[in-house]
Structure 1
Amino acid sequence: MTTIDQPPMRFPWPPVIIISAAAIAIILGTSVPLPWLRGPFAEFLAGVGALIVVGGATLAVLAVTRFRKVGTPVRPTHAAQRLVTDGPFAISRNPIYLGGVTILIGLALVTHNAWFILAGFAAGIAISLIAIRPEERHLDRRFGKAYRDYAKRVRRWF
């Protein structure tokens, strides 16, 4: 297997990071709850949070659908077959990860659990270090100038 055919990682860290962050937020929210707003404004924020969750999920689903449509694997344990730069990838180089982190932030508002906000930021940092950097190296090796031009036009997160 040549270098360009090697997948960016051997273990699918991003979903594990997102799920772990959610689990930690739930555990901390029940064992060490942080203060939260009360009353009608809290309920308004819960509605906004629900919209944020739906938006994050929609972004991730659109990105997965786009990957499947062009025939490139979604899983980071497989080498990219095509460089996808349109659809949700025109606004973020990582819309699936952005969707996952957005869902965590929205869940904070829906559940009145501030730990989800902290978990979302921690998950974003962990994904950047553990997943995005290796994926970017992989895409640079595989697609060269086309990827570098895309990276100059589109931000990593948003």
Structure 2
Amino acid sequence: MSEKEDAQGSEDDHAGVRFPPPFIILSFLVAGIMADSPWVTGSLATLPAMVMGGLVFALGAVLAKSSVPRHRKAGSNVEPWKPTTKIISDGVYGRSRNPIYLALVLGYIGVAIAAGSIAAFVSLIPCLLVMRYYVIGREERYLEVKFGADYTDYKSRVRRWI
């Protein structure tokens, strides 16, 4: 094994997630908003909805801002197609195993509220299923194999989402 592989993990040392989770979530959001007819979306996109949506989106942004730097500080990768070097269990990771995904979903909900998009809310259901089984499920299996009891103990203490 080369020094580069030793420091970054082998080529197969990742969760097997091939599509960036933000792309998955954004795709469902855009599809949902586009599925709404313009007169429905326009009539529901009121100033109070935009303010409420903006607040929910901002909450997601704050959560993301407190989550991503923890990976950098720990020297671990955020991207699920790269090796995970350690379990991060402090800060927001002491409350949620997936705070970045939770932040992305809050951003999605905020935009859907602001746009007044009913179809975006409907498309959130399959989006969450894809995230749960395609992304999070793969990550959890990978982390259980890589970190064993340390990760299963973390899973028993900290909820998946909230």
The alignment's TM-score, normalised by the length of structure 1, stands at: 0.85
- Whether 2:148 is the aligned partner of 1:144: answer yes
1:14-62 deviation digits (Å, cap 9, x = unpaired): 1221121122022112468469658xxx533331211100111221222
1:10–1:130 CA distance, 2 compared to 1 (3 A): closer
- Whether 2:126 is the aligned partner of 1:92: answer no
Opposite residue 8 of structure 1, the aligned amino acid is A
Which sections of structure 1, spanning at least 5 residues, go unmatched? none
Question: What SS does the corresponding residue of 1:149 show, helix, strand or coil?
Answer: helix
Percent identity of paired positions between Structure 1 and Structure 2: 32
Aligned counterparts of 1:45 and 1:33: Cα–Cα separation in 2: 14
Which sections of structure 2, spanning at least 5 residues, go unmatched? 2-8
Contact kept in structure 2, 1:63 and 1:96, CA below 8 Å: yes
Match of 2:18 among 11, 19, 29: 11
Contact kept in structure 2, 1:93 and 1:151, CA below 8 Å: yes
- What is the CA RMSD across the aligned residues, in angstroms? 2.4
Query: In the TM superposition, what are the counterparts of 1:124-135 in structure 2 within 5 Å?
Result: 124-135=128-139
- Whether 2:60 is the aligned partner of 1:61: answer no
Opposite residue 121 of structure 1, the aligned amino acid is I
Opposite residue 71 of structure 2, the aligned amino acid is F
Aligned counterparts of 1:32 and 1:123: Cα–Cα separation in 2: 24
Question: What SS does the corresponding residue of 1:101 show, helix, strand or coil?
Answer: helix
1:106–1:126 CA distance, 2 compared to 1 (3 A): same
Aligned counterparts of 1:109 and 1:14: Cα–Cα separation in 2: 21
The alignment's TM-score, normalised by the length of structure 2, stands at: 0.83
